[in-house]
Chains A and B, each alone.
Chain A
Amino acid sequence: MCLAVPAKIVRLEESGQGTASYMGSEVKVNLSLVPQARRGDWVIIHAGFAISVMDAKEARETLRLFKELAAASQDEGA
């Protein structure tokens, strides 16, 4: 019930509509549920609607964590 993907807003259009970019493809997205979203923000898109705006700092943290985990695993495996 939760299939949703992160995508970057590339265009804001009128009446709560917008366009987001996901892996090079453009998708129409309804931004009515996230009125605070701006161009350049990353949002979580579910069934054509953005339901949440992502936190760039937390995303970087998560990536860093996993890079560390991967490196640690390789050290062990060696």
Chain B
Amino acid sequence: MTKISLELGSGGSLMRDFIAGRIVPSLGDPLLRELGDAVHLPGGIAFTTDSYVVDPLFFPGGDIGRLAVNGTVNDLVVSGAEPRFLSLALILEEGFDTGTLDRVIRSIGTAAKAAGVRIVTGDTKVVRRGQGDKVYINTAGVGRSIARPRQARIRRGDKVILTGTLGDHSLAVMLARGDFGLSSSVRSDCAPLLFLLPLWKKGALWMRDVTRGGLATVLFELAERLPFPVVVDEDRIPLSRPVRAASELLGIDPLYMACEGKAVVIAPAAGAEGFLKLMRAHPLGRKAAIIGEIQDRIGRPGELLLRTGVGGLRLLEPLTSELLPRIC
């Protein structure tokens, strides 16, 4: 492609391929090539960065500031690091209301405190009206490495655990835009996943937070690198009622809807029940559930399969482009 299209930003395989095919080869760094959520550096430090662009800035359950803190915190947590410090870079559009900016900054402060991280350095720029959408935020995060994901150690019988309901963030933002004439009680699930950190020492094999592209995309990226197929049970996937309703009404599949405070954890077979108990003991993990497993009775290596609620079976593909409501 010669021009960037909006479709590229929807977080699916288009973006993955773009980065892997265009950006990484140009920079040529072996650590970058791994393209993990965060990277473990020599000296026991983990490092990550993320940028936040959301419309509207405020929505039920969160705002861009809170996203900017928790998103980066969570990238560190699921990579096996204890989050410690964040940087904060702001790009402000000329004409943006300073009162609103105050609200965003306050929210950042509150979220940082709740996540136990300090914001220790930052930058601010202003661009002309029309050249930025109110505010863009970038946060880089530094943490203490406490474990490494061990994908190579994943075996048959290991379990797939989802920490809670899918799609709440995605729906909250969609509805806050005023689209679709649908009103519901849904709230973004934007939250720090610190309660998962102890699981690393208890033998957690792999974690990923379920953001853009949804559960199916996250699991597909894992499945394609495993020697055994991953099977997930549709019936066991926790969904809140508002998300269930909206997904049927609008024809959007919850398996592809973004969250901002949920993760997939691969637990060793023996430890899975223990993991579940630990998660459910925390307010953010009450709906945690074992939703599937790594096995070899059905499917082929590299595949991600869904056992449907009616007793059928189908392959799950990653999200390839923007999730759009359907009428068909």
Contacts and interface: CB of A to CB of B under 8 A. Distances in A.
A3 B326 contact: yes
A25 B180 CA distance: 12
B195 to A, nearest CB: 28
Contact of B181 (A1, A7, A27): A27
Nearest to A29: B181
What are the nearest 7 A-B pairs in CB distance? A28-B181, A23-B245, A25-B184, A25-B245, A1-B328, A3-B251, A47-B327
Contacts of A56: none
- A contact residues, range: 10 to 19
11 contacts: A3-B327, A23-B245, A25-B182, A25-B242, A26-B183, A26-B184, A27-B181, A27-B182, A29-B181, A48-B180, A48-B181
Categorize the interface residue count of chain B. 10 to 19
Contacts, number: 48
B305 to A, nearest CB: 24
B246 interface: yes
Nearest to B175: A25
Contacts of A48: 180-181
A26 B246 CA distance: 10
A46 interface: yes
A46 B326 CA distance: 10
A31 interface: no
